Amino acid sequence: MERGEARDWAEQEFGDVDTGDVRRDRRVIAVATRAVQQPAGRVLQVFHTSAERQGAYDLLANDACKASVLTEAMGRAAARRAAESSRVYVSTDGSSLSLIDRKGTKGFGRIGSTKQGGKGLKVISSLGIDEQGAAVGVLDQQWWARGACRKRRNCHARKLQDKETSHWVNSLQASKERLSELAPETDVWFLLDRENDRRLVLTWLQDSGATYVVRSSTNRRLAGDDGYLLDRLRSVAPMHVYTLEVAAARGRRARRARMVVRASRATLRLRDQWSDKLQPLDVVVVEAREERTTPKGEEPIAWRLLTNHEVTTSAEADDVIQAYAKRWVIEEFHKTWKSGACNVEDSQLRDTQAVIKWATIMAAVAARIERLKVLSRTQPDLPAGQELTHYELRALIQLKRRHKKRTETIPDTEPTMAQAIWWLAELGGYTGKSSGGPPGSITIRRGLDYIAPAADLLEALENEGKLR
């Protein structure tokens, strides 16, 4: 991305930033501009001059520039983008950054098992996803450093604000508020994995008024001594059957799975284990379960989903299943952000807040890379100019001609999104079928890095009147 249009992106993404000083606000835009041009985990890999590097370090170390201010600006930009869609999915998921702190002076907390002694930061991210499965941006992030290990028997004695569950609820709440303000006409669905099949989260979702889909993690008791959830599902007739192509993976054989869909209303019996009070929760449960095709020794593929979406037909059941399938986009985002194209886990910054601020800026960049990747697969005929800049396209075409195969012809016309991303990936080292799949975020980022100097040069020459 050339510098002028990279700045346009940075202003769209962080234009709402308010650090309390217009000079710091301009510095945020300048840092984000360079970050989207050449994303990397270490500051020194992004900035070309010592003055730029020092400016970035000063900003990240400045206590007056709060990480929450960057998150607010990024979240508002994502909400405005979500307003362009009739429906947006909010996939909220937890992750952690493994970071180096050999001297134990950076303020990081424990991650992973206590015995392994890992250090880093915990984070909850809420990623907006459009109906095509492309990221619209990061709506919110909640960060914390874990302290000393607490035994689980103390969990029920703590209030919500003292539990890690509060970070999930805070991220959901912040996302909802931004979307309600900036995308009021957009239909919002919250998507959460099994970790959030818990009373406090389910209660918040029910009270929020938004549609939600949560993967069930346990065979819950039903209210009124009405048995268990799985018993209820097994008592209802299947709605329909579909075939799922299952790829081979570790511990799983490739096959065409026969998936049976069932749905039923149920009233869950939620229990506050501290006060011992029971709380009923009316839900619809939709199950897609493999039957009669599971290889010996393997567990059947099964999704059991809790939702407040009305399900009376097979089409409505499929709507819930397809919605939850989009939750996986946040897993790809985490990979691109943490250890793929943006590599934030490589950060050598010496302060927790500096790491969070740098990682927040890179989160916005990672969402853009993921969006380009998905659009090239889901909307291959989309004109590339809708996502890539004018100078990026000109540089891409010229460099592709220089490195084209003898049998290739590169036209002057604007390429499609699929073709442009394919060319970018090839310039970034993608080798086609031998790479094991379609272009991924790492080769796309390498391609963007490769064309960035040429795009900068084209813009400079045109501004000087030296380019026809």
CATH number at residue 81: 3.90.350.10
**329-338 b/e with 16+ CB inside 10 Å = b?**
bbebbbbbbb
**For residues 75 and 70, what is the distance between their CA atoms, to the nearest angstrom?**
8
- pLDDT (0 to 100) of residue 362: 96
Whether residue 468 lies inside any domain: the answer is no
Q: Which domain holds residue 365?
A: 3-67+339-374
Same domain, 196 and 294: yes
C-alpha 237 chain-centroid distance? 36
Name the residue with tokens 């930009």. 77
Residue 435 confidence (pLDDT): 60
At residue 114, the pLDDT reads 56
What pLDDT score was predicted for residue 148? 62
Can you read off the two tokens belonging to residue 390? 């004018």
Q: Are residues 207 and 241 in the same domain?
A: yes
166 and 236 share a domain? yes
* C-alpha distances out from residue 114 to 105, 108, 118, 149, Å: 19, 14, 7, 8
How many domains in the chain? 3
**Residue 223 counted as domain residue:** yes
Q: Say whether both 305 and 367 belong to one domain.
A: no
State the Cα–Cα distance between residues 270 and 389, nearest whole angstrom: 51
Q: Are residues 111 and 144 in the same domain?
A: yes
Single-letter residue type at 408: E
Q: Are residues 177 and 262 in the same domain?
A: yes
> Quick one: pLDDT at residue 137?
97
Residue 233 covered by a domain: yes
Last residue of a domain, one of 374, 401, 436: 374
Contact, 285 vs 229, CB < 8 A? yes
- Say yes or no: 178 and 299 in one domain: yes
Nearest partner of 323 among 421, 224, 215, 413, judged by Cα: 215
How high is the pLDDT of residue 5?
65
Distance CA 73, CA 136 (A): 14
Residues 140 and 250 both lie in one domain: yes
DSSP3 helix / strand / coil % (the chain, rounded to 5): 45, 20, 30
Same domain flag for 294 and 259: yes
Domain boundary among 314, 348, 374: 374
Question: Is residue 169 domain-shared with residue 207, that is, in the same domain?
Answer: yes
What is the distance between the alpha carbons of residues 336 and 304, in angstroms, rounded to a whole number?
28
DSSP code for 332:
H
Q: What is the C-alpha separation between 438 and 370, in angstroms, rounded?
A: 13
Of 323, 348, 374, the position where a domain reaches its end is 374
If asked whether residues 363 and 393 sit together in one domain, one would say no
207 and 111, same domain (yes or no): yes
CA 89 – CA 327 distance, rounded (Å): 8
pLDDT in tens, the chain (468 residues): 545 567 888 999 999 999 999 999 999 999 999 998 888 999 999 998 899 999 999 999 999 999 999 999 999 999 999 999 999 999 999 999 999 887 778 889 888 765 666 789 999 999 999 999 999 999 999 999 987 655 555 555 555 666 888 999 999 999 999 999 999 999 999 999 999 999 999 999 999 989 999 999 999 999 988 899 999 999 999 999 999 999 888 889 999 999 999 999 999 999 876 667 888 999 999 999 999 999 999 999 999 999 999 999 999 999 999 999 999 999 999 999 998 889 999 999 989 999 999 999 999 999 998 998 888 888 888 888 877 778 788 888 888 888 877 777 787 788 888 888 888 888 888 877 656 678 877 788 778 778 877 877 787 777 777 766
Do residues 442 and 462 lie in contact, with contact meaning Cβ atoms separated by under 8 Å? no
Which runs of E-coded beta strand occur in 69-117? 87-98, 109-111
